[in-house]
Amino acid sequence: MSAGYFPKREKVGLEDLFKGLVTASHILHHNGIVDAYGHISVRSPDNPATFWMPCNIPPALISTPDDLIEYNVEDATPVEKNVKPGYLERCIHSEIYKRFPAVNSVVHSHSSDVLPYCISGVPLKPTIHLAGFLGSSVPVWDISSHYPSGSKHDLLVRDTTLGASLSASFKPATSAGFLYSKMRSALPSQIGGTAEPDHEPEHAVVLMQSHGFTTAAHGIEEAVFQAIYTKEAAKAQTTALAIRNAHFGRTVEGNVDVEHGGKIKSAKVKAEGDLKYLTDRQARDTSEAMQATISRPWGLWCREVEINPLYKNECPSGED
């Protein structure tokens, strides 16, 4: 968990972790990141070899510690026997935790605002300062060439083989480092993992062909922040593309072949009014600046779901 959620605590207790995980599930639903599908998880603060995530019920209806299951990072199997059925795609989470020890929370979403960038070939870019964490490019992972022999081609990350392939798309950080490296000082050492480059992903978000997206972060609040503003960035980019094309239109330039019916040869489509995306420097600096403010929207989001009768969080609070 991040410093924003537990600013005065030296250690994150399981009671607080459970309450935060349930609240995060409600926030993600309230903001349209998940519906009946989609999920969030968090690495155990007591044992980095395990993680917690809700059982197989809609995120909005998760309410008690009994709705949460502890899994082994190694193979996504439940730590205890005879638990409630879990999400089929929990290997998304386990393989990211396995590859990146500094990651402590993962969100998987099928947001309809992001889906067009999973199928259109149009790259998702950082359009707004709140989405600088997207960096200069967002990979699109295509599951089609990674299915084990005999498996169903249903786009679902059903096993560790597919989960490992997806996690590899986040790629270990290069010598240049990822935006995360500039944020480590803001996180408590007991839950922040290590700042070694090979323990950090290069990308905060990976799109999934015809499926959705996954984001990895250092804590629950950061993961929720990234999921929500990935959606907001996609909405802004889609709207900007639409009004740009409506206003400027497109012109075709080329040579006219008079002898063959007036066809245009060597034609090029010219578009005016190119979108202004964040530069690499802007993405890095805005991401670092926003990292220090995550507790502000988190407090608002918590209150929004707290007063909404749909959401019930019956997890006890831990002691300060």
Residues with a catalytic annotation lie at: 89
Quick one: how many helices (H) and strands (E) in the chain?
8, 9
CA distance 131 to 290: 9
Half-sphere exposure (CA, 13 Å, Cβ side) for 307?
5
Closest CA to 113 of 203, 232, 215, 30: 232
What whole-number distance in Å separates Cα of residue 14 and Cα of residue 317? 9
* Termini Cα distance of the chain: 15
Q: How far apart are CA 140 and CA 124, in angstroms?
A: 9
Output the CA–CA distances (angstroms, integers) from residue 215 to 116, 194, 218, 222, 306, in the order listed.
Answer: 17, 19, 11, 10, 25
